[in-house]
Structure 1
Amino acid sequence: MVTKDEAVKVAARFLQSIAYPDRPDSVVMLPDTAIHFTDGWSVRFDFKEHIETGAFIDAPFTSVVVVPHDGSAAHFPPSHLPVSEYMALRAAGDWPPARH
C-alpha cells in the first residue's frame, strides 16, 4: 500500500520527468488535496505560473495524477470521467472497459 507522502513523491516524479520534463520547476504539488481510494491515490498539482497569475491559459489541462497502490505507473485519469468514478471502476476491475 502506498502512503500519501509516497504518492505525492511518485506523482511529482511522473510530472517532472515524464509529463512535463521541459518545465519541472513549474510543477507545484498540492499534497493536502490528495484523496485515498481503494485502488490508489489521486494527487492534485498546478503550475507555478497559474498560481501566480490565475490565468486559465497557465493552468494544466488536467490537474490530477493517479498513483495506484499496486505499483503500476502513475498516470493521468481519463478526462471524460470524474476521478472518483474512474477509481471505482479500477477497484471493481472494470477498467479498462471491455471492447465490443
Structure 2
Amino acid sequence: MLSRDEAVAAASEYLKKKAYPEKPDSVVMLPETGINYAYGWTVRFDFKEHIETGDAAQAPFTSVVVVPHDGTDPHFSPTYLPVDHYMELQASGEWPHGWPPRKDR
C-alpha cells in the first residue's frame, strides 16, 4: 500500500509528464488533501496561474488525481460521479459503473 507521500509523487509525475506535459511548472500539488480509500489515494492539485489570479478559467477542469494502491497508473476519476462514489465502485469491483453486477444482489 502506498503512503501519502508516494501517492503525491506518483500523481505529480502523472500530471507533469502525461496529463499536462506542456505546462509541468504550472502544476501545484496539494498533499494535505490526500485521502486514502480502499482502492487508492485521491490527491488534489491546482495550476499556479489559478492560485495566483483566482481566475476560474485558469483552473484545471478536474482537480483530483486517483492513485491506485495496486500500482496501476494514476488517472482522473470520471467527472460525472462524485469521487467518493467512484472510489467505492472501484473497491467493490463494480467499475465500470455497475458492471459486473454484484453476486450478492
Post-superposition shift, 1:26? 0.0
TM-score normalised by L of structure 1:
0.97
1:6-85 mapped onto 2 (5 Å cutoff): 6-85=6-85
Aligned counterpart, 1:95: 95
Letter in 2 for 1:93: G
Q: Percent identity?
A: 61
Give unpaired runs (5+ residues) of structure 2: 101-105
Post-superposition shift, 1:96? 1.3
3-state SS of paired residue (2:75): coil
Letter in 2 for 1:51: I
Deviations 1:61-100 (A, max 9, x none): 000000000001100000000100000000000011338x
The CA RMSD over aligned residues, in Å, is 0.9
Distance 2:66 2:88 in 1: 12
Give unpaired runs (5+ residues) of structure 1: none
The list of structure 1 runs, each at least 4 consecutive aligned residues, that deviate by more than 6 angstroms after superposition, is none
